[in-house]
A and B are shown apart, each in its own frame.
Chain A
Amino acid sequence: MSILVHADSRVVIQGITGSAGSFHAQGCLEYGTKVVAGVTPGKGGSEILGVPVFDSVRQAVKGRHAEVSLIFVPAPHAADAIVEAAEADVKLIVCITEGIPVLDMVGVKRRLAQLPGPVVLIGPNCPGVITPGACKVGIMPGYIHRAGKVGIISRSGTLTYEAVWQLTRLGLGQSTVVGIGGDPILGTGFQEILGRMLEDPGTEAVVLIGEIGGSAEEAAAQFYRERGNSKPVFAFVAGRTAPPGKRMGHAGAIVEGGTGTAESKREAFRKAGICVIDSPAEIGQTVFESLSPTRKQDALT
């Protein structure tokens, strides 16, 4: 079991003919992902890496039954690409693009909320989603993953790879790894993904990787505490030694109650009964040692 993507997910890649789009389309195909279509306006009717290219997402959905979109469209056009996918009835949209203006994302969120059906947006500015051994919808190196039962949710890209690699080297596989993205406004937050993982019978434990700024970690901690549940959750927060004032929000952080420091996030996690990991080099080891013998056996098999 897994969340969001599985072996049969049919993926369309928006921006497939660009350099990043084609490079990572190949990576997804090599991993075994069912990349059924690509979209680049003006290049409809052509083919790349054996994948048919369409002018619009709607055509790709109609012609190839795509249900998941992976977006590599450049930042100035990315917001429009997300809305295009959502309006074409794509159910899961994963936006890799970095550097989308914040107010563009305000518009995207508003439009998505108006649509009749449920649509999940992951990102932007994220590494994507992978269910190891089944489906990779993103830019993460596939080989570092291993199928298993630990779910990972992270705001970072490469720090996620680090955590995954540590788990894999200890023989702990992952159910699904979700990079929610590093931008101020995200399609989906920690707590929504955490909720799904706690519901997922294929996930035995969850690792949250947060960083300084904003209050998404605090919200996730509160959600976990209020929900009351049985799966162990671990958390690492990057940025304890980052120079203060360089990346912190101003008025935004005030409105949200002065949260945002590494310490406030770690405290919120601790209070919620989440195991806080101090060293980024010990994420794998801590999870490994904390799992009870039965869970460990479950997770390893």
Chain B
Amino acid sequence: MKLLEYQSKELLRRYGVPLPRSGGLVRAAGHLGKALKELGRGPWVLKSQVFSGGRGAAGGIRLVRTAQEAACAAGELLGKRLVTAQNAPEGETVRALWVEGALEISRELYVSVSIHRGLGRPVFTFCAEGGVEIERLARESPEKIRTAVLEEGEFRPHQLRGWTDGLELPSGAGERFQEIVGSLIRIFMEQDASTLEINPLIWTAQGEWVALDAKVILDDNALYRHPEYLKLAQKSEEYSKAERKALEAGISYVSMDGEIGCMVNGAGLAMATLDMIHLAGGRAANFLDVGGGADAQQVRRGFELLLSDRKVRAVLVNIFGGILRCDVVARGLLDAFRKLRLGVPLVMRLEGTRVEEGRKLLGASGLSVIGAETLADAAQRAVAAARKV
């Protein structure tokens, strides 16, 4: 689960990481005055609260010097769709602004804690050039990026010895930097984060470290250990309405822009099914992994989700039963169609655990289903059916 900047900073604040002064969260332009008053004299920074990166380059962060300028910028940002390099082309609606006092930057660093898959360990990543697009830097000058593997999930200050030497910082800054790194690693471990990124961490002209931005992603698998975030996840704006519905039902669902609605079990097979539809000359309307341990109710809810998408002109169900049994899928399907009208052709490919029982149930139901033997066959039939409608 991704946290918005202000939520990430709230977490950082609890661990004593220094942050810019804030006037709070503004959801309507009318509340801006109060936030500015709270901060006192400008200049101020208005920051769009969206999940994708690249906000600054997309014009989602504004430096303003007067109350009038601030009101004008807030009017332009709030309620608008912000299209960044990372969320193009559809963009993301700006529902709130985080208001902070502007700071004078003397040095900018990049720091993050994340999981290194290959090593199976958390790593601390550092770059003396912060504020830049770190992905590009990693490609173009990987030598500028330094990492420390956190062997025991703990930070040992000696691992960073010398890293800040070239920055010509006054005495004491290095020690304070290590304290901040220690806090970030503690947050990562205690809160079950999968990514914690501060880009940039700045050294101000006044001689202080400040986390100017913050991006935290929490491990979805560990949310049960953090009930406060579990609640937040259920209303998170990271997901569309349909995606949130899917989340509640324990289904992974990603909306796409094609015309063939898909329901598949397993992420790998679901991706391969999308690839196959593409090869057959069609486009998928969604990615829907109904999950390995799905029950009839989940299958039914998956179907409701699929059919609520107006773009869908044919439905392709591709189930290779393992944990999920074909008879369970068939029952869920029949359940769904007791209430829903199937207005589009349905292509169905069932294979695996209890396939005979599943096929029998469907056959006996009288439901109009286009059967398919293989993956290629299923994709071709779905593409053909969508064209006919």
Contact = CB atoms under 8 A, between A and B. Distances in A.
Instruction: Among B52, B195, B274, B322, find the residue whose CB has the most chain A CB atoms closer than 10 A.
Output: B322
A278 B274 CA distance: 13
A101 B116 contact: no
B38 interface: no
Contacts of A209: 268
Contacts of A155: 268
Contact of B322 (A140, A185, A214): A140
A157 B322 contact: yes
A189 B118 CA distance: 9
Contact of A165 (B123, B221, B277, B351): B351
A243 B268 contact: no
A158 B375 contact: no
Given A106-B115, A254-B135, A257-B142, A278 B279 contact: yes
B222 A258 contact: no
Contacts of A251: 112-114, 125, 134, 195, 197
Interface residues of B, number: 69
Contacts of A109: 120-121
A239 B271 contact: yes
Given A100-B221, A101-B225, A102-B221, A161 B322 contact: yes
Contact of B117 (A157, A166, A214): A214
Nearest to A245: B86
A258 B194 contact: no
A102 B115 contact: yes
A290 to B, nearest CB: 18
B114 A161 contact: no
Contacts of A110: 121, 151-152
A103 B114 contact: no
Nearest to B351: A165
Interface in A188-236: 189, 209, 211-212, 214-216, 219, 236
Top 6 A-B pairs ranked by shortest CB distance?
A156-B268, A158-B266, A281-B376, A159-B268, A251-B114, A101-B222
Interface of B: 52, 86-87, 112-118, 120-123, 125, 134-135, 138-139, 142, 145, 147, 151-153, 189, 192, 194-195, 197, 215, 217, 219, 221-222, 224-225, 254, 256, 264-269, 271-279, 284, 287, 292-293, 320-323, 351-353, 374-376, 379
